[in-house]
A and B are shown apart, each in its own frame.
Chain A
Amino acid sequence: MTPVMARLRCLRAMRIVVVGLAAMLAGAGMARADAQPPLPGFIHDSALTVCTNPTLPPMTFVNGTDMQAVDGIDMDLAHALAAYWHVTLAVTTMDFTGLFPSLAAGRCGVVASGIIELPQRERNFDAVAYQDTALVIVARAGTRPLSSMADLSGRKVAVQAGTSYSARLAQENEALVATGHAPMLIAQYPTEEEVVQQVLIGRAFALASQDVELAYRREQLHGKVGVIFTPPYPEYRHFALYIRKNAQDRALLEQAIATLRENGQMAAIEKKWAITSDAAQALGASAPASAFRWSTFFGALTSAAFMRGAFITLAVAVLSHLTAIALSIPLALVLNGRDSMLRTGIKLYVALFRGAPTLLQLLFIWNALPQFLPFFREAWFTPFLATWLALSINESAYQVEINRAALTAIDPAQALAGNALGLSRGQVYRHVIFPQALRIALPPTINAFITLLKTTSLASVISVQELLAVTQIQVARTFEFTEYYAAALVYYLAMVFFFLLVQKRVERRFAWADQYRAGTHDS
C-alpha cells in the first residue's frame, strides 16, 4: 500500500504547487480575470487531468531526477491552461501507447505529449493545435543531405512506436515500390531516445522526428546528428492537444489557447524552451566522447528516483506473489481433487492466464476492463493496483502448477497416517502435507518469483514508475544509456541475489530430507 500512498501524497503535493502557481499567475495580472471562462466538460472536480509520456524533450520529459516533476512545453501549457480555468492540474505519466486508450477510458481529460495533429487521429478524438513544427529526417553528423525521400530507398529508418511516422513512411514506401525502388526498412522502437540511439550506434541510417525536439536534443547529442531532409508534408505542421470528441469542449480549448497566445504566455513558453543552433554547436565542441561516466552511474545508483523505482518493483513483485500463492493453494487442492464443475473452471483459468501474454493481461485490465466495468474507471484503481491485480492472477496460474506438483509428490500414506492418529483434515494439511510440500515447492517458487520480479518492468507501460520506467525516463533526459542501464542492472541483481540467499537459508531448514545433513541440524 505504501507506494500507492506515496503516489497519492505526491499528487496532492503537486496540486498544492499548482494552486500556488495559479495564484501567482493570477496575481501577476496575466489572466486579467474579468470573468471566469466557461469550463469544458473534461474538467471534473475542479481538476484538469493531463496524460503524458515524458520521453520527448522539450515537449514533455522529466527534467531532473525527481520522477514526479514532468517538465517541458506541454507541461508549461498545461499549467497555463489550469491557471486560465482556475482549476488544479493533475499529471499522469504513462507509456506512449497507453495515452489514447487512457483518454478513451476517461482517465484523463487531455493528452498533451508532443503529438502531431493528424486527420486519422481526429476521427476518434478532437485535436487542438498549439505549436508549429515540421517533420525532419535526421542522420549522423556528416551524412550528405537528401534531395528527396526517394534517397532513403533501401535504407533503415527508425521511428517511435505508436507515433504516426511509421504510417507516413509506409505511404512513402508505397510510392517507392510503385516506381520500382526498394522500400525503406522501418524499425519501430518504444521510446524516442531508443530511436536516436539506433542512429547513433549506426544500426539505422536515419530517423524521423520533429524539428522542435531535435533542436533541444542537439544539446544532449553533442552535435552528433543533423537534419538531412525536411519532407514537404503539409499535415505534419502542428503539435496538438487531444480530447475526447466534443465540439463544445474543442471550442473552449481553442478559445483558451487563443487567449494564451494573445496575452503572450505562449510566446513566453516558446522562448523558454527554444534553443538556438549556435548554443548547440558550442556544446558539441566541448563534448567528451562516449566514455563511461562513473559519476552518472554512482549518481543514479544513489538517487532517490532509482531507490523509489526499485522499491516499487520489489513491492509489486512481493505483493503480487504473496497474493498469487494465497490464491493458488486452494486452487491446487481443487485441481488435485475429484472431477467437478469447479475443477473444470479452474483448469480453464490456469490455461487462460498461462496462455495469454502477461503484457496483454496487464493492458486488458488497465485499458479494457474500465470500458465495460465503470467501477474500474474511478480514481482508487491506480496503475499500481492494476499491476498488482494483473500479476497476481497471472502468477497464480503458474504457482498452481508448482503447488499441484508438490502436493502430488507427497506419499498419500502420509495423510493416511495422520488420519489414523485422529488428526482432522485441516490438521493433516497444516501439519503433515504442507510442510513437506513446501520443501518441494520452494525452489521453483523462488524461481518464479525472480521471473516475476523482472516481469514487473511491464508495468511501465501503464505508468507505474518502477525501476525500468525510471531508468528509461532518465535515459531520455540525458542520453547516457550505459550508465543508467548499468545502475538498473545493479539494482535488479542485488534484489535477485538477496532472494537467492533467502532460498538458501530456508532450504537449510529442510535438512530432515537429507540423511547426511539431518544429523547436524539439531546439535
Chain B
Amino acid sequence: MTPDPAAVLSIRNLSKLYKDFIALDRINLDVRRGEKVVVLGPSGSGKSTLIRCLNRIEPHDSGSLHINGQAITARTDLIRLRALVGLVFQNYNLFPHLSVLDNCTLAPRLVRRMPRAQAEALAMRFLQQVNIAGQARKYPIQLSGGQQQRVAIARALCMQPEIMLFDEPTAALDPEAVSGVATIMNDLAAQGITMLCVTHEMRFARHVADLIVFMDQGRIMEITPPEQFFTNPQTQRAQDFLNQMIG
C-alpha cells in the first residue's frame, strides 16, 4: 500500500510494541486536510499511543507514517515535525514556573527564533481565541483546570501547526469546564485546522467529527462517519462500547 497523495496524514501498517505487549497493531489511516477525526475506544485500546506516535513523542516500531507526503522516521528533523504537529495533553502539562504568556511564547521564541514582542502579540491573539487573555500574566497554579487546558491549547496553537492532536483534553476536567474546552475545539474545527482527537466527549464526536476511528486492543475496528457509528456501529465491540458510554 502506498500513502494517499491527497492525505495530510497517511498511516500504513503502523505497529508499536512495549516489550511483549502490542500497543498498536498494523494501523492504517488516512486523514485529509481539514478533516476532524475522533478516536474512540476503551482504556488501553492504544488511542493515546497512536496520537503520540504521530509527532514521534513515541517512536513506532514498524510500518510507515507520512505527513504532507514526507516519511517520518528516526532520521526526521523532530523540531520541524513538531512545529507542524501540535499536541495537547490530558493533564495540560503547562510549565508552572512560567506565566501564561511565557508558556505560550517559549517555543516560538526558542524554536522559531521569533522576537519577544512578536511572540507575545501572537500569543495574545491565541489567548484571546481561547478566552483567557485576561489571565496572561498569571501563573498556571492560579488557574482552574479548564483555564489551564485552554492555555495549553493556545500554547500549542502558537507554533501554528497544520495538524492538532488532542490526547483526551477534557478527561481531567469537571463537566462545566468540559463545555468551555469543547467550545474552543468546535471553533478550531470551524477554522479548518486538521484535528485528531482522542476523547470521551460524545457530543463533540457526534457533531464535529468527520470520521470516527474506533480502536480496541491496539487495532482499528472501524472507520466510519459519526452518524453511522452512533446509530449503527459495524462491530459488536463498538456496540458494547457505545452501550457503556451512553447507557
Contacts and interface: CB of A to CB of B under 8 A. Distances in A.
B137 A417 contact: no
B245 interface: no
Contact of B138 (A424, A435, A518): A518
Interface string B71-95: 0000000111111001101010111
A414 interface: yes
A521 to B, nearest CB: 7
Interface residues of A, number: 28
A514 B80 CA distance: 35
B55 A420 contact: yes
Given A421-B111, A423-B107, A431-B106, A512 B96 contact: yes
B93 A518 contact: no
Contact of A424 (B55, B79, B81, B98): B79
B91 to A, nearest CB: 6
Contacts of B155: 421
B141 A421 contact: no
B139 interface: yes
Contacts of B83: 422
Given A421-B111, A518-B138, A416 B96 contact: no
A432 B137 CA distance: 18
B111 A423 contact: yes
A380 to B, nearest CB: 43
B217 interface: no
A45 interface: no
B117 interface: no
Interface string B134-164: 0001111110000000000001100100000
A417 to B, nearest CB: 4
Given A414-B95, A422-B159, A439-B97, A515 B107 contact: no
A513 interface: yes
Contact of B95 (A432, A514, A522): A432
Contact of A513 (B81, B91, B96): B96
Given A422-B79, A518-B142, A413 B91 contact: yes
A46 interface: no
Contact of A420 (B87, B97, B138, B141): B87
A519 interface: yes
B87 A436 contact: no
Contacts of B82: 419-422
Interface string A384-395: 000000000000
B93 A416 contact: yes
A435 to B, nearest CB: 5
Contacts of A522: 99, 137
A148 interface: no
B168 to A, nearest CB: 13
Given A413-B91, A431-B106, A515-B141, A422 B78 contact: yes
A513 B110 contact: no
A424 B82 CA distance: 11
A522 B80 CA distance: 34
A521 B79 contact: no
Given A417-B89, A514-B141, A422 B97 contact: no
Nearest to B110: A427
Given A427-B110, A518-B141, A518-B142, A421 B159 contact: yes
A417 B93 contact: yes
A513 B99 contact: no
A414 B57 contact: no
A436 B96 CA distance: 8
Nearest to A428: B110
Interface in B197-246: none
Interface string B115-145: 0000000000000000000000111111000
B159 A435 contact: no
A432 B86 CA distance: 18
Nearest to A512: B139
Nearest to A412: B93
Contacts of A424: 79
A435 B137 contact: no
B95 A422 contact: no
Contacts of B81: 422
A518 B99 CA distance: 10
Interface string A489-523: 00000000000000000000011111100110110
A262 B40 CA distance: 108
Contact of B97 (A413, A418, A421, A512): A512
A431 B159 CA distance: 17
Contacts of B87: 420
Nearest to A522: B137
Given A421-B107, A422-B159, A435 B141 contact: no
Contacts of B156: 420-421
A366 B30 CA distance: 70
Contacts of A423: 79, 106-107, 110-111
Given A422-B78, A512-B97, A431 B110 contact: yes
Contacts of B95: 414, 417-418, 432, 436
Contact of A521 (B106, B107, B110, B139): B139
7 contacts: A416-B89, A417-B89, A417-B93, A421-B82, A427-B111, A436-B97, A512-B98
Interface of A: 411, 413-414, 416-424, 427, 431-432, 435-436, 439, 510-515, 518-519, 521-522
Given A420-B89, A432-B95, 20 more contacts: A413-B93, A416-B93, A420-B57, A420-B87, A421-B107, A421-B155, A424-B79, A427-B110, A431-B110, A436-B97, A510-B97, A512-B140, A513-B97, A513-B141, A515-B141, A515-B142, A518-B139, A519-B142, A521-B139, A522-B99
- A-B complex: 9 closest residue pairs judged by Cβ atoms: A417-B93, A422-B82, A421-B107, A420-B87, A512-B139, A422-B111, A518-B139, A413-B93, A422-B79
